[in-house]
Each structure stands twice: as structure tokens, then as C-alpha cells.
Structure 1
Amino acid sequence: MLLMTALLYAPALQAKDNGGVHQWTTAKSGGYSYKYVAGDATKTRFYELKNGMTVILSPVNKEPRMHFYIAVKAGSKTDPATHTGLAHYLEHMMFKGTTAYGTKDWKKEQPYISKITHLYEEYNKTTDEAKRTAIYKRIDSISGEAAKLAIANEYDKMMGAIGVKGTNAFTSFEQTVYTEDVPANAVDKFLKVQAERFRDPVFRIFHTELEAVYEEKNISLDNDNEKVYEVALAELFRNHNYGRQTTIGTVEHLKNPSLVEIRKYYNKYYVPNNMGIIVSGDFDPDVMIKKIDDHFSYMQQADVPKYTFSPEQPITAPIVKDVYGPDAEYATISYRMPGIHDKDALLADLVGKVLTNGRAGLIDLNLVKKQKLLRASAYTDILIDHGYMVLQGNATMGQSLEDVRTLMLGEIENLRKGNFDEELLTSIINNAKKTLMQQNEKYDTRAYALMAVFTSEDDWRNNVTYAERLSKLTKADIVAFANKYLNDNYVVVYKRKGEDKNVVKVPKPAITPVETNRDAQSAFVKMVVNTPTDAIKPVWIDYNKDMQRGSVGPAEILYVHNADNDLFRMSYRYKIGTRSERRLAVLAQYIQFLGTNSKSAEDISKEFYKLACNYGMRVDADHTTITLEGLQENFDKAVALLEDLMANCKVDEEALASLKARMTKARADARSNKNMIMQGLVNYARYGEKNPFNNVLSEDELNQLSGAWMVDMMHRLSGISHRIIYYGPASMTTLTTSMKAAHKLPGMFTAAPEPVQFSFREQKDNEVLFADYDMVQSEIRWVRNVPGYEPGQQPVIDLFNNYFGGNMGALVFQTIRESKALAYATNAYVGLPQKKEDPYMVSAYVGCQADKFNESVTAMNELLNDLPSVQNSISTAKESLKKELETERIMQDDIIANYLIAEQRGVQDDIRKLVYQATDKMNYDDLKKFHAANLAAKPYTYCIVASEKKVSADDMKKCGPVRKLTLKEIFGY
């Protein structure tokens, strides 16, 4: 499950006076009383059931789906000090079923579960290693017997069969949240399952799931960012569990779990008056509240202990800490902030935006825009009891981390002295209005905001009135806040490159693979899956009706109307990318530092931010895209500002020199990033020595790059073939008129340079591409090119991915994680080509402990070479695929994005219709035939990132001849 130690959600924070007409109002409908905030555009209703459960309903009737959050106000903050990580453990176990599902025969299974529970208590209290080993052998043996009666992943498969997607959960400081995206016609089935799920969960298949949590812990030990975060919070909060405990727990506690303590925690906190059900999507709230009440009224209210803590002692002098690891170095400065109910909480949030808002904050303008640092940002996270503000900066060439600290503290000093424009506050308010529109635009983002308000014990009025309340704050308020909270009372953590000698991985216990009984299905699941539902007819895109075409001179317009709000998103999509001109990748960065004769780069950033609009430039292999988004009321001004920059930007040699230094440093940092290294290996596997990943300027070419060339290229860009893509409230006629006036075009486009062609490799034999990296885990990715794109193959590919390795109910996850406990993260799929002339890509992945390398490779290879036949899983995969297609609605500018992909693949119509019509006709034989033709007994390139001290060359040679690539070969510089 997804572990969240901090939600980067900007909450609508507490204020003394909400003011205006936005007051809480009570109403009654459908036999239930509820509260709502007057003037709330979302018309969200807040109910409290008789047993104290909170239900929050926010209808958005655009798609026949709804997003559910079932949230518990308990997380790592309330973990027992002797059993840290317990809330997160419990989150994992809530997917294992109950006495009704997840089991073939509960009466026979129950004695084994009891024995395992008692053995873990004995194990927990035993310190003698020989005795512990003997106890664990008994746990492993009895768990194997118990597993014969369990049905692994039955919850996930059941959710898939009824059309639910996005099944997951996360744990944080003060919340454990279960999340699903549900078809509108499956809500009765879904609620029946959830009511059963929380009635009396059974903590079965524990020791293999425990191993998955071990792997999750090992992943965190390889994450330098996580280590920095933990050190900073530990120093900020010495008396509070925000700092004293981590969400995932200590190694010692992970090694000594207690099922008894997990049950106690469940009984204490998973009670209705401590839980909330949050729903947004396609439903009638009068009907929905009754359904939820009917299903959850059985839950009994109980007293929930309040978390108590001692006040923190003031930090009177900077606290300096070092963290070591292989990733690039950086510095963080952290300050303690007030909690969410404090009168200063809103100011804390505003101060974060004054420092960083992406465009016109102090750090944005003074450190990023002026390129004094490689990267820099700030954010504020306000929790219930305390908050914290973090400034993070990455050094550029020739800087020390102490230099980074000094520069960031300089912006704190500017804040304290009031060295910022008061006009910035107006801009922040305008952007807050835009952010609120974006939040409410889709049902899933709206549901998330409501969930965050519930678990943080905030007031929804504060969200509704956020911009209004910001407008009451002044520059003087900000300066006073900064002088009160931002002094020498900070924690600075230097993330330095080097070996972390304190890492202790969670050891690998001896686990015998357990039965998953993937053919079995409980009576409860059969009943749920077979319950009839009202049909929902699928809706396909008609590219000729759902999208309009127009033109301005030689440029085609692709247009979709926005009838929902005042937001627009527009882009110029040029037919030129790095395959034609590698220097464009540098231009995409350089443009943000350029001004014109009348405006500096800083002026341009501030003006865009004031308009609540934003521009950007991105370059891929085949296209250069300049984007513009924001409030439609400011569309013409924003376009004029962008066009002026494109047409009149001028060379800034000082900015270019700084950019080259920063890019040199960023490129060096990328070579220290294991994710980037793996991306480079995969590209090398697909294309060979010369590939799109390392198709970059050499160091000499970068150093010799001329600012004059880049500025000239920007001036000439509108003369190169491109399309105008628009989603917004303006009509096509209005848009065309605006574009004719603002977007100057030639009578005929100039052709772009001929692109470099990269040839895909044909793998004839197994081989290994290896990169050495200092890490606890090992990461293995299987890669294979399969030429011959054929749209008619899409149905079997989609079904195969659903069945084989694309989700938690699929064969790969069940086998490698659930049965053999080899990895936390694993998947396998057949990826579609970007263009019709490209091949498919077979990809498989396992991230595991280094000492599980051989077992993991063997387990994945067995699946790649022999496709098991599991009829129930095939039926589930088909039902899941069909229901997703029936309820999926491609809307807004996603229509244009879908069309562009189809165009590149040479597809004329919405291919989902073909998949839907073919799904019922397919069976195991079709999947087996596809598997045999494209996966089984085929050569693969194994891309491996691991420490050569932990994974031996001899083990890798079992996969094929090993080639250890240098970073120069991978990155091209």
C-alpha cells in the first residue's frame, strides 16, 4: 500500500472569523439532517450518523463513477511507543479479508490463526536468537498450513470484478485512509463489502505481508529524502510523536510484531465516531446517505483516547545535522510552526506561498530566477498539533551546502524585513481562486480535499473562504509572523554524498512460499460479484464531434469547449523535438530566465502570477510544446505576454553562463540518482548505445552553446509547423479571433530539420546490463522489444495486462509478493508503442532485497515462460476491463490528448470500442497464444541496478552475459 508520511496538500487553514455569508447551515432531506456551508459551490453535505460516523457527500455528476475515502483518524502519532509502525501494519492487514471472504473455510482456518497469533507473542518476548529462530520456523510452518485455507488477494480481485479501480490505502501521522474509485452502478456491492471489511477483519497471511512491510522499510532506507525528513522532524519535535516515531516504524519493532497489539489498536481507533466516509461523484445524496447508514449503523460508538503530549522546548540556536547517502547533496532548513487550530496557522500557510509559489515568491525570484541555486523551494505542512516549514536548496557548481544555507536564510531575512512587494499578496489570492476551481473540477480531487479536511480536523468553511480570508491579511501581518517564528530556531540538515554507515536493513527471514489458492472463490465473493446491477452503456469518443477543428493561417486548431468553469488550458505544439535539434532541451530552460526590452524575466514571472496564469515549455523527442493555463478572464493578457516573450526575448549572457553551470551540476546529480540510472539502462536495452535518453549535448557542446542561437530559435519557432490546442470556455470563434490578433504566423511553415532515427534492438540472446549503486535493495527490470504494432492486438493486450501483472490481483503480484514474499513492488506488462512504426515493449520489474535476487529472478522467469490458467482470475480480468470501459469518460482536454496518441499510432477511431466488443469473446487460449508468441522462451535484457557488494557477478551471469555500463555510457556525458 502507499505509505504517506506527509501530505503535500495545502489545507484551508483555521481563522478566527470566516465572515460573510459562508456560515454553517442545517437542512433536512431524505429523512436525514445535514450541515452545509452557505455559498459553497460544491454543495457538499456533512452528516453525522447516530453512531457518530461522519459522512461527507459531494455530488459531481459528470462521469458514472465516484471516489470513496474511508478515513480513520489514527496514524503513526497514536502508535504505541513499544510497537511503532503498527497503524501502517494494520493498514496492510485490512486487505486480507474477514471470516466471510479471503477464506475457503473459516472454521478450519481459525485455529491456525490463533496459533500464529500466540506464536508471535512468544516470538516478540523472546530475545535468545536460537529460540527465536525455532519459533519462527513454527510460525512459517503453521502459516503454510493456514494459507492452504486462505484465498490471497480476494479483496483486490473482488474489487476488480465489480469495476472498482485505484484500490489502495495510505498511512500518515494522524490518518489511515482507504481509497477506491467505484462505478456508479456498483455502489451497493461496494458498500456491502466495506461494511463486512470493517466488521471483524482477519489478520491472515501475516508473515508474508510482514515481509512486504520489511521491503517497504528497506526502500525507505535507500531513500535519502526520507532519511533527511526523519532527522529534521526528530529534532523539531522531541516531545511529540511527529518526531519521536516514524510512520513505518523502527527496524527493531518491525522484527517483533504483535498481532495482539494490532487487534487492540483496531478495536481502539476503528470505531465509527473516529471514522469518516467521504464520497464525491455521480450519486443522489439522499439515496447515498441511506445506503451508507444501512450498511454501517451496526458499528458501535466508543470512547477514543485523546493523544496528549508535552510542550516542545524552544529552539534557541540552530541545530545542525548531517545525513549521508548516494543521492545528490542538498540542504534543508526546517522551522516549527503552529498547529491547525492556532490563530497563526493561516499566516503560516501564506508565508510559505510568499517564499515559494512557483513564479513570484522570494525564493522563486531571488534564488531560482537569478540562478543562485540549482533548485530551491519552500513549503508549509500544518498538522493538528504542530506544523512545520521546510526550505530546501540544491547547490549549483562550486557551492557548498553552507552557501546554500546562507542564501536561503537571506530570503528569510527579506521576509523579516518586509523586502517584498505587497502586490504579491493580491497575486496569491488570485491564484488561490484558480486552485479552488482546479480542486473542484474533478470528483477525485474534490474528494481528496474533503478527506484531508476531515482527518486534519479542519473546518470546510476555511476551504470555501480561503481566498477571502487571505485577503484580510496584510504585509505587516506577514512581517510580524516572520519575526515571531523565523529566527535562529531552525534545524538545518545537510544531505551529503557518502556512505551511510548507520543503515541496518531488516533481515530476510526464512519463508516457505505459501498457497494463494488463486482458483478458489468464497461464497461471499460469489454472491457480491453475481448480484445483478443496472447496466451503464459505454461512451466512446467521436473525434469528429467531441473535438472541433479550426485554423489560423497555416496552424490547425484542436478545440474542446469547457462548460464547467472559467479555466483555460492552451498549448502550441511544434513538430520539432530533440531528435531534430538537441539544443531545444536547453532552450526550454533558458527561456524562463529571459526578458524583453521592456520587461525583465522577474517582471514577466510576476505579471503571469498576477494574472493567475502560468506558462511553460517542454521538449520531447518529436515535439516542442509551449503551454499556457489560467483564468479565461485574463486569457488575452496572458497570450499577449507570452507572445511578446517569444517574439522579443533577448540574449542574457550572464543568465546563460549560470544556466550552463547549473545544468552541469544537475547532470552530475542525475548520475547519482538510481531511478535515472534505471531509465538509462532501459533505453540502452531498447535502442543500444545511441538512444533517446543519452541523445544530449556533450559537455563541450553545452559549454559552446550560443545564447544568440537560442533566442533566434525562439523568435523563429512560430514559423515551424505546429498546432494550437485549446480547452476553455471561449467559443471557437472568439478563440480564432484572439489567435489571429495575437499569434503572428507566416503564410507557410518552415520545415524542421530531419530528425535523427534511433533503431530499436532485436534481442537475440539473454543479456545483463548492470549499474553499480550503493543501496540496500536490488532493482531488476526485464526488457524486450516486440515489433509489429497492430491495433487489432489491443484487446488481448489489455486483457493480458489485467490478468498477468498490471495490478494487485494479477498473477505476478500474487506469486512474487503474496506467495513468496520476495518484493514489495513488482509488476509486468506489455507496453504499447508511441508510434505505429515502433515495437511493443515487454516489461517486468522486481524491487527486492539483494539476498533475494536469485529467488526473484527465478520467480519472474517462471511466469514469463509459463502462463498459469486461473479461470476465476480470467473472469475477473474480463469483468474489470469491461466495467472500466463502461464507466470511463474521456473528457475535457483529455479528448485532444487521446486523439493525438491515436493519430501517432495510425488509429482513426476510439480503440476502446474495439477492446470492449472483443473482451467477452476472449479466453485463456487467446492469452496463452499471445504469451507464447511474445513472452515465453524469449530472450530478455535484464537491467539491474544494485550494489556489486551485495549482488555477485556470478548470480547475474545466470541471467546472461553481464555488461557493466559506465555512467558515461548510460548518460552520454
Structure 2
Amino acid sequence: MKKIKMLCISMLLFITIGCKQTITSEKQVVKTEQKKDVNGFSYETVTNDPTGLRLYTLDNGLKVYLSKNTDEPKIQTYIAVRAGSNYDPKNSTGLAHYLEHMVFKGTHKIGTADWQKEKEYIDRISELYEQHRAEKNVDKKLAIYKEIDKVSLEASNYSIANEYDKMTASLGATGTNAYTSFEQTVYTNKIPSNELDKWLDLESERFSTLVLRLFHTELEAVFEEFNRGQDNDRWKIYFASLDGLFPTHPYGQQTTIGSAEHLKNPSMVDINNYFHKYYIPNNMAVVLVGDLNYDTTIKKINETFGKFEKKELTHPELPKEEPITKPVVKEVYGPTSEFISVAYRSDKINSKEEKFVTLCDMIMANGNAGLIDLNLNQNQVVQRASCYPTFLNDYGYHTFTGRPKSGQTLDEVKDLLLEQIEKLKKGEFEEWMIEAVVNDLKLSRTRQYENNSALADAYVDAFIYKQNWEDRIKFLSDLKKITKTELVDFANQFYKNNYVVTYKRKGEDKNIVKVQNPGITPVNLNRGKSSDYLKVFNQKESAPLEPNFIDYKKAIKETKMANNINVSYVLNKNNDLFDLNIIFDMGKDNDKKISLAAGYLEYIGTDKYSAEEIKKEFYKLGVDYYVSAQDDKTYVGLRGLKENLPKGLELLEHLWDNAKADQEAYDKYVEKIYKGRQDEKTQKGNILWDGLYSFGKYGENSRLRDIMQIDELKTINPEELVNVIKEMKNYKQRIFYYGKDVEAAVEALNNHHKIYGELKDYPAAKEYLETETGGNVFYTNYDMVQTEMLFLAKGEPFKPENLAASTLFNTYFGSGLSSIVFQEIRESKSLAYSAFASYSNARKKEDSNYVMAYVGTQANKLEQAVDAMMELMNNMPEAEKQFKAAKNATLKKIAAERITKSNIFWSYERLKKLGIDNDNREAMYNTIKNMTMEDLKSFFDKNVKGESYNVMVIGNKKDLDVKSLQKLGKIKELDVDYLFNYVNEKKIKS
């Protein structure tokens, strides 16, 4: 299925709620009704709305979106503000995003040991920043900054870092974060449902007052985020495309992160003004989806957020764009592989154009049977191509993307994309496609919105984009009313010579901004202190929430096919979708050709259907198939509408039994693999987390490097790969089914999944041995602003008894906003945007556990970052209050966790690999309850302290601080081709 990004489309037709899902029929009446609850609060509801939304508007204008789902005792919470980077002052771009960061710093009650004294320093810092902003003399500007640093240190004597994060963690919250975009800033938490009262108290206090404490250290974290953006070529393409689409509107002229110049010269006055103007109840929404009671919840929200004062609100009038009358050309450069984007500006969300562009988009690319899918991807005439729409409050845009195959130019890819658009304009698609793509959207919405977070996202979009929920419910029905003639007429009017084409070329980016290390003095964290608010907060008792552990042997039912193949199943109580997996307990470790053959199957047909026709037949049924080869497993899967399972399985088995080798398709497939490898090795994420990580763990003899070379691939007869797929059916296998009507599913398997003779045992799997770590620094040169480091130490073999302690350790020490590592590296020392550490348990009982740490920082902060991380990894700070909070948070997270739906089976599969045959969370929960700080220190001393690390580093060689790395071991520079074994000659320098 095609993935639609959150900001692209926020339509919804039917959804899982509680234990029952209904599907909105086009014949059902869908209309908005006004109702009152038992407390007398008025709310809107939409008849036949499967989401069960109640939309309240409090007297102060606050919008409240509530929906009930009792699958788990949790509530997804969002607090949304209709204000983003569009409204940044022109001389303070990045303001809305930076304000988002500062809202985590507390209020005059949260995060302070003495507000009156702290306020004096904060006021002084604000004055100094205004002087700093106005000053033009470089030396005087630096002197003012040093004074800011000095006063900030003094102010930190009265601040208490991360109190907000500590309190959300103490609730057992997960996903504590926020995001800012053009038109919104949204704050997120997922909380246990029994903690709603405390969460409302905390959030209503949080948004009551803005205090810009620890301002200059957080600003450095934002600079690190800015640097990460400079190292991201995808963002560069995105910004360049928007610049072309919107030459006057903030969409194209003000990035959310802001300009470097404005980040260097912030104004605390501007930030306060922005907060007081837009962070008001009549410009905000509270969204809650989960295990809640409508009537009591809205009453509690009114008692907290209802106290906020309504204010007059005006949003600025933003510029209107002139029509684009000829192609606009943009170019960006960077180290990653070449890429092209072609984008057309559209009308805004909630417009008629939104419906037509959405439908055009799915006709063009739906991941299966669209024009781009079949003509370009299926036929392998480009490396990869797709398209997606985005709709915002003022405008939208439809973006087409493509990657060239080997020897192909970006202009050739562009021409091929435009050629597909011409086919759309000529109506060269079949009549059934409109209904099929709408049904596809229905399917994807069902899958996407089966969880609380996705539904809450849809409500946030409805608020931000001023959507009438009734219209959202009707959206897909409206699409079905569009005729092919109307769509073709629209395409001819819309897709003209009015696009923005952006070329992403390989090469040096001349626009990179280098940021100096300001030499910030580490501020005090005051871990041992607590505000009066925190003390009272911790004394409040919530209703207890007892954990729920699962009996896998009862929850996973068993039956058999007529041929005696075992079928495990879990009933789907929510909707009429199914997921069927035929599982082979062998994978790439058993035969490297399995993965190759699985990928090849996508490009071939049978004696009855061409490859394109196969895709169309599956698409008509609303069914997906997939063949996926992992290291030790291979899955042949089918999923979609339950009623079409028999036909879908029949079609899959036909392909399985009758696939025909195609030499031309195979030759293109090998070319695609070669180009894919060349593209992947240009991505810094792949280099660090695949190449360097694998080398640090296994050395030369790793799965990653144990590949078939291109010359070897070219000699393979594709008939051999087809036989590999066909022969798989003769190996031992088992089946997992998630859905309704198990008897019908087994009957379909008996009718179509024919097995003859005795099933074969699996071929022996190749083993890859983990190397000992320590004394090595593996380095790869890459053109980037930041330097990223990964520390890896091999620990002892997996032990189930370590699971409880390691889980608590990770919460306390290395993971999350309130962890020791995050506080020290980012909050106190401003050395990174992202820093974490973990004790990572093995995935198989025969493998080892690992200690891991990561930090990404400016190259000129490398030495400080290395020293800070190594100090922490050898000397864990002991903070009793923080330990108790981490322990409480860990217990609450386990108590609120529910293993449901198909995850019952897949979680059991993961546990069996570790030699565990029960829900081990119960033993973990009971162990953690009795753990002390001394127990955690003992775990640290035994498993983390003094470990010997392999250090993997990626960064720009000319900026590399060699001396700081030499402290960690012998530096070895590894060539990218050597890391991935893409060449026969080893390229290694010492």
C-alpha cells in the first residue's frame, strides 16, 4: 500500500473503535448533530461516524476532541496550537520551533528552586540578548555572549532541569515530544489512563506561563538540529522545491528550523510575545483518544484548561502567489545519490482540487497498479519513482519523485515522469481504477487508524486545517462520485508546463553554514532539588493500574490443514481484514539466493498473466501479497479483505506454482541491485548504522559483507531463482492467520495451498561470529557538518535475569528526555541534539548482549563530547530521586502495556528466540518492584563500567579531531566500498 504522510491527507472513512468496527456505507446518512452530555456540556457528533468523535468547544474557545478506545488502558494525548513557522517574524525565523523547545523547560512553578531569584537572572539574560542582537561589532558581540554565559550559569543555581520530563516519566508516559511545522505546534504524550488527572494538572500548568530558562544551552541543541538538517539532502530538496513553488509565501521563504543568522541572534522578547499571542485557548485544541469516559473527561478538562482566558486573535495575512506559467528550475548539491523532484502547486486543503489531486495521485502511484508503478517501477525503466500530495491551509502541492538507474540522467527520469502524467491526461487508465483506488484508500485508513495515535493525528489535522469532520467522513465517498471524464479534464487543466523541477546532484554544497563552538560553560542540573510543585505532584495518588500478562498458549489457538501443516491463529475482533503468513524457518543464512529470488518474483509473470496483470488482479481484489526473506525466516504473506482471501490465495498460489523466468527482467533486476548498492553507500545513515555498526560487531566476516558480487549475479540463470521460489513449498512450514472465520481460511488453504509428499528439512545455516570489542576506532570519511559516533562493547551472553535490570537501567541512564545521558550531554553541556546509551539485550539466546552509546555533535565539539560520554559510561551518577522516578515510570509502562491482536503471535515468536516460553514481563515487573539504587549500581559496575569499546565514527575528514579519537584506540579509516564489500580489493588504511 502507498504510504500517505500525515501532512498530506487527513481523510478518514472507517476506523477501529473498542472491540467493534463498522464501515461507513455511502447510503448511510452522515450529518453533524449538536448534543449535550450529562454535565450539560454541548458537543458535536457526526452520525455514522465510526470514530465516535465528540467535539467540544469550551466557553473560552478551546476545542476538545475525544474518542474512546478500550483496547489498552492508555490515552494518546495531543495539545495542538494553530501557530507554526508561517507566523514567525521575518527577523526571527525559527521562533515557533525554538518556542516549542522552551515549553519543556517549566513555568514559574515547575523547574525552579526559587522563582523570584531565578527571574532576576532570566530578565537580565533577556536584556543581554536584546543588546547582543543589536550589536554589530563582532568583538563586542562576543563579549556580550560571554556575559550571557556567565549570568546563565548563575541562573542555573536556581533552575531544576527536566522537571517536566521527570513528571511525565513518573506517570508512565511514552512518546513525550513535540513537533512544529508551517501552521502548527503539537505536544505529544501517551499516558496510562489512570493518570489522566495528574496529566491535566501538569499540562494546564505547563501552558499557563512561559519561562525561558536554560535558554542558551537549548539554543545550542537547536543549532545541532540545524546542522543535522544541513547534513540531510532530502531536506535540501524539499526546501528548494518549496522555494520554487512559493517565491513569496512563508511556505517557501521561511524554514521551520530558521536561518542560521536568526538562530545566532535570538530575541527572548519576540518569543514571549509569540507565546502570549498564539498560545491562547481559542487557538488551541486538546485531543484525547483512548480508554476514557467522555462525560468525566470533559468535566476535568474544563476544570483545568477551561480556566485559561480567551483573548482576541488575529492571524497575519500571508502573501498570495502568482500562477506559475513556466517550469522553475532548482538545483541542490550534496554527497548522496542523484534524485529529481517535479512539483505542481495546488489549491489548499478542503478545496475541490484536494479531491481531484488525491485521486490523480492514486491513479499515478498506489504502490501496486498505478501508472508509475507499472510503467516505470514494474518495468524497471528507472531505479524508483513515486508521487505524493500535500495539502496545507493556504496551498497544496503534488510532488513526483524519481531516482535514475545506472547510466540514466536526471532529465531522462524527469521526461519519464512527465510522460506518465501525459498518459493520465489522455485517460490511459482503466475504468475500474477510480473505484479500486478509493477502496485502497479505505483499506489503508483501516490499517493506519487501528491505533490511538493515528486517529489522534487525524483529529489534530482536522483542527489545524479547520476541517469539518462530517466532510472528512464523506471524503472518500465524494471521490467515488468523480467520473473518469471529469478527472481527465481536471488533469489537462492542472498538469501543464507549470511545475518546479528540483535536481539533487552529487557534489559539494557551497551553502553550508559552519557554526563556531561558543564554549558554553556547563550549567547546573540540580538533580537533588525539587520545586514545590513537583513535591505536591508526587504526593497525588492515582487509582492503581494492575498489569495484565498474557498466557500465550491460550491466546494463540492451533488447528491444522488437511495435510497436517500447523496453523496458529488469533482472532481479529476489530474489522474484516486478514493477515496470512506462511512461515519457513530458514532465510538468507541458509541460502543467499532466497532473498534474491524473493525480490525477483516482483518482476515476473506466469503462463497466464504478465507481471503487470498480476499486480492489477491483486489490486482489484484489495489484497496484497509479499515474499520477505530475513536472516533466519522467510515469509510468504497475503493480507486484505477477508471476503477476498480465497481468490487472493488462489492467485498467489498460481504465481508461486507457475512463475516464468524472464531474462530481460532479470538483467534489469541485477542492474537495479547494482545501482541500489551505489545509492545506499552514499547515505550516511547506512554507513554508520549498517556498515560501521556491522564491522564493529563482526569485523570482516559479517552478513552485511557476505554478499554475491555483481559479476556473480550476472552469471545466475533466472530459471534457477524461479525454482528456488517453487522449491520453498517443499520445505517444512507453518502458518499464522490473523482474522475472522478461521474455518473459511483453513478451507481456502486446503483448496489452494497444495503440498505433495514429505516436507524437507532446512539446509544448514551459516554462522557469523561476533568479534571481541575494544581498542579500535573505525572511521569513514563523509562530507557532513556533524560528526556522529557510536560506541559498542560486547557484553556477556544473553541471560533472562538481566532483562529487568537492563530495562530499568535504560530508563534511568540512557533513554528519554529525563535520562542521565540526555541531561548531561545535551541539557548541561549543550554538546548534541541527540545522545543516548543503552544496554542492548540479544535477539537470540546464543548471542551476546551489547553496551551501546551514541552522540552526534559539531566537529568542533568532538573532544568535549567524547570526554563527556566516556565519563558517564564509566561513572554513573547516582540520583536517588531520579532512580525512584525511573523505577516508577518503568513499572507504570509495564502495567499499562497490553499485547493484543496479531502482536500476540509475533511477540511470542520473539520470546521463543530467547528461549522464553511465557510472558516474561511478569517476572520483570516483580523484580523491578524490589530493585534499589544499589542494585542498579551493581548492574552498572558489572555490565557497563570499564567496558572496552569499538568506536565507529563518520564525519568530514578535514574537520576530524584526531587527538580526541586516539584516546579511544587505534584509528582505522575504512573505505565505504570495503565496509559493504562492494569491491573485491580491500581498502583499509591505518
Within the candidate set 90, 93, 112, 1:103 is matched to: 112
1:72-101 deviation line (CA, Å, top 9, x unaligned) = 011011111111111000000000001111
Q: Are 2:226 and 1:217 aligned?
A: yes
2:226 and 2:564 mapped to 1: Cα distance?
A: 56
Say which is worse superposed, 615-624 or 902-911, in terms of deviation.
615-624
Say which is worse superposed, 718-727 or 50-59, in terms of deviation.
718-727
Say which is worse superposed, 466-475 or 492-501, in terms of deviation.
466-475
Give, as a single letter, the amino acid of the residue that structure 2 aligns with 1:89.
Y
Match of 1:682 in 2: 693
Match of 1:86 in 2: 95
Say which is worse superposed, 550-559 or 266-275, in terms of deviation.
550-559
Match of 2:702 in 1: 691
Within the candidate set 345, 361, 368, 1:359 is matched to: 368
- Report the CA distance between 1:639 and its aligned residue: 1.2
- Report the CA distance between 1:47 and its aligned residue: 0.7
SS state at 1:787 partner: strand
2:843 and 2:669 mapped to 1: Cα distance?
A: 31
Within the candidate set 600, 604, 618, 2:628 is matched to: 618
Within the candidate set 433, 439, 444, 2:442 is matched to: 433
Q: Are 2:28 and 1:29 aligned?
A: no
| Residues 62, 283 of structure 2: 8 Å contact kept | yes
Match of 1:153 in 2: 162
1:463 and 1:752 mapped to 2: Cα distance?
A: 51
Give, as a single letter, the amino acid of the residue that structure 1 aligns with 2:751.
A
SS state at 2:108 partner: coil
Say which is worse superposed, 339-348 or 53-62, in terms of deviation.
339-348
Q: Are 2:238 and 1:229 aligned?
A: yes
1:568 and 1:20 mapped to 2: Cα distance?
A: 25
Within the candidate set 322, 344, 369, 2:353 is matched to: 344
- Report the CA distance between 1:19 and its aligned residue: 9.2
Give, as a single letter, the amino acid of the residue that structure 1 aligns with 2:30.
H
SS state at 2:668 partner: helix
Q: Are 2:96 and 1:122 aligned?
A: no
Give, as a single letter, the amino acid of the residue that structure 1 aligns with 2:10.
P
| Residues 731, 761 of structure 2: 8 Å contact kept | yes
Within the candidate set 275, 279, 282, 2:288 is matched to: 279
Give, as a single letter, the amino acid of the residue that structure 2 aligns with 1:92.
H
1:929-962 deviation line (CA, Å, top 9, x unaligned) = 1111222112100000111111133332221101
1:522-537 equivalences under 5 Å are 522-537=531-546
1:523 and 1:920 mapped to 2: Cα distance?
A: 27
Give, as a single letter, the amino acid of the residue that structure 1 aligns with 2:731.
I
1:950-969 equivalences under 5 Å are 950-969=959-978
Match of 1:368 in 2: 377
1:366 and 1:761 mapped to 2: Cα distance?
A: 46
| Residues 730, 755 of structure 2: 8 Å contact kept | yes
SS state at 2:106 partner: coil
- Report the CA distance between 1:366 and its aligned residue: 0.7
2:127 and 2:48 mapped to 1: Cα distance?
A: 56
Match of 2:403 in 1: 394
1:657-708 deviation line (CA, Å, top 9, x unaligned) = 1111111111011111111111211111111111122222112222222211
| Residues 83, 257 of structure 1: 8 Å contact kept | yes
Match of 1:568 in 2: 578
Unaligned 5+ runs, structure 2 = 14-25, 983-990
2:412 and 2:749 mapped to 1: Cα distance?
A: 46
1:395-410 equivalences under 5 Å are 395-410=404-419
1:799-814 equivalences under 5 Å are 799-814=808-823
Within the candidate set 543, 550, 559, 2:552 is matched to: 543
1:806 and 1:945 mapped to 2: Cα distance?
A: 22
- Report the CA distance between 1:455 and its aligned residue: 1.0
- Report the CA distance between 1:403 and its aligned residue: 0.6
Match of 2:215 in 1: 206
Within the candidate set 265, 277, 295, 2:304 is matched to: 295
- Report the CA distance between 1:721 and its aligned residue: 2.0
2:163 and 2:193 mapped to 1: Cα distance?
A: 22
- Report the CA distance between 1:389 and its aligned residue: 0.7
- Report the CA distance between 1:8 and its aligned residue: 4.5
Q: Are 2:486 and 1:477 aligned?
A: yes
SS state at 2:307 partner: coil
Say which is worse superposed, 680-689 or 185-194, in terms of deviation.
680-689
Within the candidate set 763, 771, 782, 1:773 is matched to: 782
Q: Are 2:607 and 1:597 aligned?
A: yes
1:816 and 1:19 mapped to 2: Cα distance?
A: 58
Within the candidate set 317, 326, 330, 1:321 is matched to: 330
SS state at 1:962 partner: strand
1:843-882 equivalences under 5 Å are 843-882=852-891
Unaligned 5+ runs, structure 1 = none
2:311 and 2:360 mapped to 1: Cα distance?
A: 40
Give, as a single letter, the amino acid of the residue that structure 2 aligns with 1:800.
F
Match of 2:9 in 1: 10
Give, as a single letter, the amino acid of the residue that structure 2 aligns with 1:233.
L
Q: Are 2:803 and 1:794 aligned?
A: yes
Give, as a single letter, the amino acid of the residue that structure 1 aligns with 2:11.
A
Match of 1:586 in 2: 596
Q: Are 2:703 and 1:703 aligned?
A: no
SS state at 2:954 partner: strand
1:178-229 deviation line (CA, Å, top 9, x unaligned) = 0110111000000000010000121101111000000000000000010110
Match of 1:506 in 2: 515
| Residues 570, 724 of structure 1: 8 Å contact kept | yes
SS state at 1:592 partner: helix
| Residues 614, 629 of structure 1: 8 Å contact kept | yes
2:350 and 2:368 mapped to 1: Cα distance?
A: 29
Q: Are 2:654 and 1:655 aligned?
A: no
2:324 and 2:747 mapped to 1: Cα distance?
A: 60
The alignment's C-alpha RMSD in Å is 1.5
Match of 2:988 in 1: none
SS state at 1:949 partner: helix
Within the candidate set 721, 725, 736, 2:732 is matched to: 721
Give, as a single letter, the amino acid of the residue that structure 2 aligns with 1:575.
D
| Residues 42, 440 of structure 1: 8 Å contact kept | no
- Report the CA distance between 1:554 and its aligned residue: 4.8
| Residues 430, 611 of structure 1: 8 Å contact kept | no
Q: Are 2:815 and 1:817 aligned?
A: no
1:654–1:462 Cα change, 3 Å:
farther
Give, as a single letter, the amino acid of the residue that structure 2 aligns with 1:646.
W
- Report the CA distance between 1:359 and its aligned residue: 0.6
1:310 and 1:484 mapped to 2: Cα distance?
A: 24
- Report the CA distance between 1:793 and its aligned residue: 1.2
Say which is worse superposed, 572-581 or 846-855, in terms of deviation.
572-581
1:32-51 equivalences under 5 Å are 32-51=41-60
1:28 and 1:707 mapped to 2: Cα distance?
A: 67
2:218 and 2:27 mapped to 1: Cα distance?
A: 50
| Residues 581, 636 of structure 2: 8 Å contact kept | yes
1:643–1:307 Cα change, 3 Å:
farther
- Report the CA distance between 1:13 and its aligned residue: 9.4
| Residues 514, 785 of structure 2: 8 Å contact kept | yes
| Residues 12, 460 of structure 1: 8 Å contact kept | no
SS state at 2:218 partner: helix
SS state at 2:901 partner: coil
- Report the CA distance between 1:582 and its aligned residue: 1.3
- Report the CA distance between 1:518 and its aligned residue: 1.6
1:852 and 1:627 mapped to 2: Cα distance?
A: 48
Give, as a single letter, the amino acid of the residue that structure 1 aligns with 2:668.
S
1:810 and 1:753 mapped to 2: Cα distance?
A: 45
SS state at 1:545 partner: helix
2:184 and 2:965 mapped to 1: Cα distance?
A: 42
1:389-468 equivalences under 5 Å are 389-468=398-477
Identity of aligned residues (%): 39
1:462-516 deviation line (CA, Å, top 9, x unaligned) = 3322321111011112212211111110111110111111111333212001111
